[in-house]
């Protein structure tokens, strides 16, 4: 039994058998650099009134300019297009802004580009396509895209169309200037749906701040932005709205996914709702996901929910096949490589990001997967902690048609004929840019804790820190010298391990290790183990019990 993970234990203050749950919560807050009374109050009890454009770094002058231009368009009944993106962040943001403006003018139309036909973000082809449907368009408002669309914005301007960019992606620092848009409502502190939500509040006559908050929460969770500050406000309060949503499409989707509305949390959104909404943009057209969010027709809601679920099943099958193919390719690469770059004509554009993410999980190296096209090829990249993948890719700009994204995830287009040169350039630069520290898996642990403190009372106390996710991970603990009382292997392929554990002064507690069968294959009853874990609850046959979710395990 081995582990490839290094432990980084944050707390130097020992947790003893006499430490109270409240004291543990304070320790965890300290680990998150939340120490003052004001910071603690803001974190534990987020308030919607603190979610403002100024608090997330949006330029007030640009926001005012955008609002003025939109109001003019509304008053003159100009044709407005809300131009979104095909992922959940873009879809929810488009729904928020379109619904808000459509109440004021029926001349507002939503538009989601087709991933394969038009590509990501505002494009010349996308503009031509929307003009073929709406020749009198005078204003385009982007959602979750546009910050690197210099050519498309210039093209729109030549067509007599003003462009307002709302986006959260990282601008191209090598560009001489930002796109020449009428206004740019931009911040990297929140997701695209969050930006759209704040812009929509400028037009909300009834001052209902909670309106659309559930959609903003969906986009925030799905886009994996840090759940701190404004994002925490959106998700903490937005999940409550989501649990009581009256949106027919969401309710139909919850039913299709087998989700109880009142129990929806970050997990349900990230692993059950978002993949279904994303699937349409990956394989078909994301407009159906947008229609699902916005429909007021029950029959249509049911039909669309079934459609996105079916397409998601197809996406799962395609992804599984592509991952197996990609892993086989990687196994043939030279072992000394610091970055994985693979390409194939069989890869579909809509799933290469998922494949890249799985490669990172498997090999813990920054990974780029390229779907080879006839003349142009699309690529998705995923990174490891501490390595800014989008900035790294931009060093190869001479080989690229376009590039955009975040430090942890990026996408780009490359001429097919240049894939070899691009790969060689990136692989050479990776030798110095990617250090050994980048490629070592590590587990950040909050504290060592005695088994006797693992109680329902502690679990309930920890929920004050929820919702958990990027930037606010579940509290992680380590315990040494636990005794294995029982070992079982579970799952369709016996890929998970279920243990009964205890210490000298504790009751037996159940632990589950997902995908850990190989790691823990030599465990036997009576063995002493050290474990890294989070504390959770398990429901089985209506009975709720405490359960440890293992992140690592070693014989001691």
**CATH number assigned to the domain comprising residue 381:** 3.10.310.30
Q: Are 117 and 166 found together in one domain?
A: yes
89 and 223 in a single domain? The answer is: yes
Contact predicate 227/198, CB 8 Å: no
Instruction: Give yes or no: residues 292 and 377 share one domain.
Output: no
Does residue 6 register a pLDDT over 90? no
Average pLDDT of the chain?
93
184, 208, 235 — which closes off a domain?
235
What pLDDT does 336 receive?
67
pLDDT at residue 197 greater than cutoff 90: yes
Position 175 pLDDT exceeds 60: no
Confidence (pLDDT) at 170: 87
Same domain, 71 and 143: yes
Question: Is the domain of 248 the same as that of 378?
Answer: no
- Pair 182, 84 in one domain: yes
Mean pLDDT confidence for 390-406: 92
Q: Which residues contact 288 (CB under 8 A, 6 or more apart)?
A: 280, 304, 307, 308
- The alpha-helical segments, DSSP class H, found in 159-243 are 192-201, 213-222, 229-242
Q: Is residue 453 part of a domain?
A: yes
Report if residue 327 sits inside a domain. Answer: no
Task: Let me know if residue 222 belongs to a domain.
Answer: yes
Higher pLDDT, 44 or 545: 44
Q: What is the pLDDT of residue 9?
A: 87
**Same-domain pairing of 196 and 313:** no
More confident residue, 228 or 521: 228
* 286-312 pLDDT per residue, tens: 999 999 999 999 999 999 999 999 999
pLDDT of residue 3: 42
Domain boundary among 439, 467, 483: 439
Same domain, 433 and 447: no
Strands (E), 213-364: 340-344
Establish if 326 belongs to a structural domain. no
Residues 141, 192 within the same domain: yes
Give the C-alpha separation, 426 to 91, whole Å: 33
381 with 453, same domain: the answer is: no
In a domain, 530, yes or no: yes
Nearest-CA neighbor of 142 among 187, 173, 103, 185?
185
Distance CA 96, CA 166 (A): 13
Within a domain: 494: yes
pLDDT given at position 176: 54
Q: Where are the beta strands (DSSP E) in 392-441?
A: 400-405, 409-415
Domain boundary at 284, 317, 350, which? 317
pLDDT higher than threshold 90 for residue 235: yes
Asked which of 292-306, 336-350, 366-380 is least confident by mean pLDDT, the reply is 336-350
Arithmetic mean of pLDDT, 322-351: 89
C-alpha 87/C-alpha 218 separation (Å) is 11
Q: Which of 533, 553, 384, 547 is nearest to 446 (CA)?
A: 533
Q: Tell me which residue range forms the domain holding 395.
A: 333-439
CA angle 175/61/214 to nearest 5° reads 90
Rounded to the nearest 5°, which phi and psi values hold at 187?
A: -160, 150
The answer on pLDDT for 334 being more than 90 is: no
Given a cut of 60, whether residue 22 has pLDDT beyond it is yes
Of 67-71, 187-191, 442-446, where does mean pLDDT reach its minimum?
Answer: 442-446
Which stretch of 104-113, 253-262, 320-329, 497-506 has the lowest confidence by average pLDDT? 497-506
Same domain? 73 vs 183: yes
Domain presence at residue 212: yes
pLDDT band at 522 (very low <50, low <70, confident <90, very high): confident
Residues 230 and 247 in one domain: no
Burial state string for 249-277 with b = 16 or more CB within 10 A and e = fewer than 16: bbbbbbebbebeeeebbbebbbebbbbbb
Over 60: is that where the pLDDT of 360 sits? Answer: yes
Report the number of distinct structural domains present in the chain: 4
């Amino acid at each position: 039994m081995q582990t490839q993970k290094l432990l980084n234990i944050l707390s130097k203050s020992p947790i003893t058998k006499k430490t109270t749950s409240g004291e543990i919560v304070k320790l965890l807050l300290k680990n998150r650099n939340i120490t003052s009374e004001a910071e603690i109050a803001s974190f534990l009890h987020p308030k919607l009134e603190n979610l403002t454009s100024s608090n997330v770094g949006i330029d007030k002058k640009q926001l005012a300019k955008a609002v003025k231009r939109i109001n003019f368009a509304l008053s003159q009944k100009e044709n407005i297009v809300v131009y979104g993106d095909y992922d959940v962040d873009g879809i929810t943001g488009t729904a928020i802004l379109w619904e808000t403006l459509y109440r004021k003018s029926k001349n507002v139309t939503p538009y989601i580009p087709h991933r394969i036909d038009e590509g990501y973000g505002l494009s010349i082809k996308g503009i031509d396509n929307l003009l073929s449907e709406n020749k009198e368009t005078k204003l385009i408002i982007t959602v979750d895209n546009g910050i690197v669309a210099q050519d498309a914005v210039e093209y729109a301007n030549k067509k007599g169309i003003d462009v307002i960019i709302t986006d959260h992606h990282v601008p191209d620092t090598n560009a001489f200037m930002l796109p020449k848009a009428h206004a740019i409502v931009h911040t990297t502190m929140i997701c695209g749906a969050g930006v759209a939500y704040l812009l929509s509040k400028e037009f909300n006559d009834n001052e209902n701040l909670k309106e659309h908050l559930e959609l903003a929460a969906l986009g925030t969770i799905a886009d994996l932005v840090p759940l701190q500050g404004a994002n925490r406000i959106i998700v903490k309060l937005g999940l409550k709205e989501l649990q009581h949503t009256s949106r027919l499409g969401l309710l139909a989707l919850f039913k299709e996914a087998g989700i109880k509305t009142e129990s929806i949390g970050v997990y349900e959104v990230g692993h059950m709702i978002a993949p279904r909404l994303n699937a349409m943009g990956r394989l078909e057209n994301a407009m159906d996901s947008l229609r699902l969010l916005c429909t007021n027709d029950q029959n249509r809601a049911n039909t669309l929910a079934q459609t996105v679920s079916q397409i998601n099943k197809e996406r799962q099958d395609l992804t599984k096949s592509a991952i197996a193919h990609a892993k086989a390719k990687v196994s043939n690469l030279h072992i000394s490589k610091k970055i994985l770059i693979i390409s194939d004509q069989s890869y579909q554009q809509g799933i290469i990001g998922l494949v890249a993410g799985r490669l990172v999980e498997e090999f813990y190296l920054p990974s780029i997967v390229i779907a080879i096209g006839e003349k142009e090829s699309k690529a998705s990249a995923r990174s490891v902690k501490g390595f800014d993948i989008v900035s790294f890719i931009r060093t190869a700009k001479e080989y690229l048609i376009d590039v955009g994204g975040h430090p942890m995830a990026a996408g780009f287009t490359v001429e097919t004929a240049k894939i070899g040169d691009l790969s060689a350039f990136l692989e050479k630069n990776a030798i110095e840019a990617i250090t050994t520290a980048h490629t070592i898996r590590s587990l950040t642990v909050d504290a060592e804790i005695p088994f006797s403190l693992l109680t329902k009372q502690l679990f309930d106390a920890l929920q004050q820190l929820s919702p958990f996710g990027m930037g606010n991970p579940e509290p992680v603990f380590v315990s040494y010298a636990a005794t294995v009382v029982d070992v079982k292997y579970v799952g369709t392929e016996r890929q998970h391990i279920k243990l009964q554990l205890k210490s000298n002064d504790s009751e037996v507690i159940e632990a589950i290790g997902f995908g850990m069968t190989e790691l823990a294959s030599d465990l036997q009853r009576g063995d002493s183990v050290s474990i890294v874990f989070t504390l959770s609850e398990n429901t089985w046959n209506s009975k709720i019990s405490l359960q440890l979710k293992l992140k690592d395990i070693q014989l001691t």
